[in-house]
Amino acid sequence: MKQNTYLLLIAILILGISCTSSEDCTEDRIAKMGVGFYTRALTDTLRKVYTTKAINLDTLSVRGLAANGTLIDSILYKSKTIQNIYLPLNKFETGSKFVLTFKTTKDTIEILHTNTDYYLSLECGCMKVHSIDTVLTTTNLIDSVKIINHKVNATNAEHVQIFIN
């Protein structure tokens, strides 16, 4: 009987340890689209072979452009040297526009995307994840854009490559 009491106490102890858990949300809940800046250089003129090279931009500022055409007050980036930026897509619209200002030249990129609810847990709730359909751009300084990863979730991945002239 004494032995049984010890076994019971050990079991309660194990149960107590296994029941302690944090109720804070520790997961990242913001899905941002990763953008990298690149340049293309013609390395073989005969065979028209281009090599892609990541570049650091001298000066860049980024702001969102609302659906009614007004610039959003808050500046997302204002940096002297930058290679990658992470942009928040609009969670309740299927298009997000950004104005990129390179020194004095401006370009606008428009991302067409779908938004899906993604449940994390009771502690963290729900977040929105996106799937990029199309990326449109003006071509003042930007040469072209390429989607390399359509799924935008909470990981810091690169989704779009912007090629600069």
Chain residues in the site for other proteins (CB under 8 A): 1, 4, 7-8, 11-12, 14-15, 18, 23-25, 64, 66, 72, 74, 76, 88, 90-93, 96, 116-119, 121-129
Rounded to a whole number of angstroms, the minimum distance from the CB of residue 126 to other proteins is 5
Rounded to a whole number of angstroms, the minimum distance from the CB of residue 14 to other proteins is 7
Rounded to a whole number of angstroms, the minimum distance from the CB of residue 111 to other proteins is 12
Q: Would you state the structure tokens that stand for residue 162, as one six-digit string? A: 């912007």
Alpha carbon distance 49, 38 (integer Å): 16
SS3 80: coil
Nearer CB in complex with other proteins: 15/41: 15
What DSSP element (H or E) covers 14?
A: helix 2-19
Nearer CB in complex with other proteins: 50/125: 125
Asked if 98 and 63 touch (Cβ cutoff 8 Å), the reply is yes
Distances (CA, A) of 110 to 23, 39, 47, 90: 39, 20, 33, 11
Rounded to a whole number of angstroms, the minimum distance from the CB of residue 120 to other proteins is 8
Nearer CB in complex with other proteins: 18/104: 18
